[in-house]
A and B are shown apart, each in its own frame.
Chain A
Amino acid sequence: ILNVEQSPQSLHVQEGDSTNFTCSFPSSNFYALHWYRWETAKSPEALFVMTLNGDEKKKGRISATLNTKEGYSYLYIKGSQPEDSATYLCAFMTGAQKLVFGQGTRLTINP
C-alpha cells in the first residue's frame, strides 16, 4: 500500500513570515509528484507537477523542491499573506497514472 505523509497536519503562521512543510512518499517507482492548494469552498488548484530529482519550481511566493532518492518534497511560502490560508495537498503519481494523496497541511495565516 502506497503511503504519502504530509507534515505538519496544521500550521499557524503570522502574516509576513515564511513557512515550509513536507511531503514524504515512496522513493521507488517514482513518476511524478503533484502539489495542490485547496481553499475552503473551492476546488483544489494545481500548483506544481514535479518529475525530476532535484527539481525546483516556483510560482510567485510559493516554491517547491523534490528529492526522489530519499522520497520527500518541500513546499515553501515566502512572506505569507492571508490569501495563502488553505490546505496544501501533495499527491504521488503511480505508474498507472493514478494519484495517491497525503492528508494535507492546513495552513492558517494570522493577520
Chain B
Amino acid sequence: GIQVEQSPPDLILQEGANSTLRCNFSDSVNNLQWFHQNPWGQLINLFYIPSGTKQNGRLSATTVATERYSLLYISSSQTTDSGVYFCAVDRMDSSYKLIFGSGTRLLVRP
C-alpha cells in the first residue's frame, strides 16, 4: 500500500520562530490533507491540497504531486500551534480512505 512519511518526528520551537514540516508519499494521490491534532484529540482541518500552494494566515502549504511531497509552513509560531500535525493521502484508485503519516509533534515554548 501507499507509504506516508513525515519529518521531523519531533520539533521544539521558541515562540515567534518559523518552521517547515514535510510529508513524502510513495504513490500518486487523489487527495492530500494536513491536520492539526490538539491536546484533546480533535483533528482540525488545515488544508486540502492535492497540488499547488495555499495560504491561510500564518500557515501555508505546498504540494508537488509529480515529486510526491508536500510541505507545511508555520510562520511566527505561537504556543497554541503546539500539538501533532498529520499529513494524510488517498490513492487515485482507492475508496477515498485516508492513509495517515505518523505525524510531527510540535512544541512551541513561550
Asked if A and B are interacting partners, one says no
Chain A residues engaging chain B, CB cutoff 8 angstroms:
none
